[in-house]
Amino acid sequence: MNYHRYQKIPEIGMTDRKWPDNVISKAPIWCSVDLRDGNQALEVPMNLTQKLEFFDYLVKIGFKTIEIGFPAASETDYSFCRELIDSNRIPDDVAIQVLTQSRPHIIEKTMDAVYGAKNVVIHLYNSTSTLQRDVVFGFGKEECKELAVSGTKMIKEYLDQDDSGTVWTFEYSPESFSSTEPDFAVEICDAVAEVWQPTPDKKMIINLPETVEYTLPNVYADMIEYFCAHTAYRDAILVSVHTHNDRGTGVAASELGLLAGADRVEGTLFGNGERTGNVDIITLAINMMMHGIDPELDLSDMNACIDIYEHCTSMNVEPRHPWAGKLVFTAFSGSHQDAINKGKKRMLETHSEMWEVPYLPIDPADVGRDYEPIIRINSQSGRGGVSYVLEQYFGLQLPKHFQKDFLQIVKDETDTRETELLPQQVFELFDDYYINVMTPYALDRFSEHALGDKKSEVEAIITDHDKEVTIKGMGKGLLDAFVNAFASYTGTDFSINMYNEHAMKSGTDSAAITYIEIKRGSDGQIFLGAGVSSSVTKSSVRAIISAYNRMIKE
């Protein structure tokens, strides 16, 4: 690995940082940049129809500021901007945000594009890092600062002459802020603010982008705190963060940026964006929700969010994407499955309003997910998970010995198939091994006669290898009498060791399932069987025969 070719971005060396002691107590001002930063990173950018659909969805879930494009750089962006305004698709409480560079013709076309909108954020930017200044532009700090100041002056001149009634907000971004000298970042932003003259009642936005993620999130937080502490206009600006995910810590950087004093977050749904993407606003929002903070975005239907995103961008949400992937609420591990099952039962028993289930930080239902996919069955599953699936999907409440016995059957099956088992496959496996196992012996019909003193006589017609046979026996109740009759006929001494039954579903058409353990007299070995019927007595007799048939097959 050529590690010697790279060097660390210098750190500030703060010794009195305050952000580690701060907490996030409210949602930031959210700004979606899906339609600009996210869109420009797509292999095939969104068309007008897709952009309109995406915009409507962003409004629906609660975004009040939406960056819609770079109108002067693309005719598609310009047309989209005009379509939103001319067709009156922008709600009165939503601001559109547009990006512009510090060039007269670009600013002029940008102002034409947004003319007539009710609320507009004009977002001016220029690159400020040492690398960008030296390699891309070939100028020093003063030329860089003059570019930002001149662009601000041009925009201010346009707006001073505007009579459209638009509510304007000005935003400035020192692009590549996180690799810009901290003191120069303050210097250039304050120079811009000096031209704009924001006030506490009419603030401007200073957006501090981590355009490329070079540092640890704590270093970015130090830079945000340094800026907030040293700018001369802190009470007159909204400090905004705009992080990318090159090091995989974009979410952490934004969260620490909020701790360090930021008021606003720019990002995208599911983190779409250049290279490894922008910060994922969905992850940030649900992270807040799980700490009891209102995220002020409605993400209660995550599936709809995924559908819109995938349809409009042709990107896919990964199976383990935080809070949204199809596997994020799924447990394969046996110990995890058991803990989830017990946690859910405890909540039902205590009627708790607070969500407290091991391994599930939030209730899947709060983001529109069902409980069914939570526990999936593969070779790593435990008996708690297998039992959960059978109970949730099919109403089977397996006794403990059945749970233990069936788990090994499931593990063998998943190892053989080298894949997970769907709920129906789990049930079919249980059915094949335990329920109504009717070979070589099967029940045709039976009748019971009470003899008094709690004794019964049973006469049953069974099939023995397809041959019809009548058996009779007496005992203390139906099952004891049937066991005596069947044991006498087969010549095998056995007894009932455990009996359990329940209805499989509610209502008048309920089917009963009976679980039976029989003990072989010769060695005390236990064998399991189950029976299903609309009649409890019939399901019980079938369970005895199922257990016996399993005994003689082993």
Confidence of residue 508 (pLDDT cuts 50, 70, 90): very low
Residue 321 within a domain? no
Least confident of 195-209, 273-287, 364-378: 364-378
Edge-to-edge strand list for the sheet holding 441-452: 441-452, 455-464, 467-475
- 231 and 285 part of one domain: yes
Residue ending a domain, choose from 434, 468, 494: 434
Per-residue pLDDT at 454 exceeds 90? no
Q: Say which CATH number the domain at 173 has.
A: 3.20.20.70
Number of domains in the chain: 3
| Percent with pLDDT over 90 in the chain | 72
- 203 and 339 part of one domain: no
- Residue 547 to residues 515, 520, 526, 528: CA-CA distances in angstroms? 9, 11, 9, 5
Q: Helical H runs in 369-422?
A: 383-394, 400-417
DSSP notation for 434-478: HBT--SSEEEEEEEEEEEETTEEEEEEEEEETTEEEEEEEEESSH
Mean pLDDT of 512-532: 94
In degrees and rounded to multiples of 5, residue 385 shows phi and psi of: -70, -45
DSSP notation for 505-542: SSSTTPPEEEEEEEEETTT--EEEEEEEESSHHHHHHH
Residue ending a domain, choose from 403, 434, 465: 434
- 446 and 423 part of one domain: no
- 362 and 487 part of one domain: no
- 365 and 462 part of one domain: no
Q: How far is CA 201 from the centre of its chain?
A: 38
pLDDT at 530: 95
Q: How far is CA 525 from the centre of its chain?
A: 47
Rounded to whole angstroms, the Cα distance separating 128 from 527 reads: 77
Residue 327 within a domain? no
Mean pLDDT of 434-459: 87
Mean pLDDT of 504-531: 85
What 3-state class would DSSP assign to 8? coil
Rounded to whole angstroms, the Cα distance separating 101 from 128 reads: 13
Question: pLDDT digit string (tens) for 270-289?
Answer: 999 999 999 999 999 999 99
Residue 320 within a domain? no
Residue 189 within a domain? yes
- 221 and 354 part of one domain: no
Confidence of residue 423 (pLDDT cuts 50, 70, 90): confident
Rounded to whole angstroms, the Cα distance separating 108 from 548 reads: 88
Least confident of 127-136, 167-176, 276-285: 127-136
Residue 3 within a domain? no
- 413 and 275 part of one domain: no
pLDDT at 376: 66
Rounded to whole angstroms, the Cα distance separating 106 from 70 reads: 9
- 176 and 90 part of one domain: yes
Residue 4 within a domain? no
Per-residue pLDDT at 448 exceeds 80? yes
Task: Tell me the residue range of the domain where 338 lies.
Answer: 334-434
In degrees and rounded to multiples of 5, residue 27 shows phi and psi of: -70, 145
Rounded to whole angstroms, the Cα distance separating 361 from 370 reads: 15
pLDDT at 507: 47
pLDDT at 273: 95
pLDDT at 449: 84
Per-residue pLDDT at 453 exceeds 80? no
User: Which range has highest mean pLDDT (127-141, 305-319, 323-337, 497-511)?
Assistant: 305-319
Confidence of residue 163 (pLDDT cuts 50, 70, 90): confident
Mean pLDDT across the chain:
92
Confidence of residue 86 (pLDDT cuts 50, 70, 90): very high
Rounded to 5°, the CA angle 385-388-394 comes to 135
- 122 and 194 part of one domain: yes
Mean pLDDT of 234-263: 98
**What is the residue type of 214?**
Y
Confidence of residue 61 (pLDDT cuts 50, 70, 90): very high
- 463 and 500 part of one domain: yes
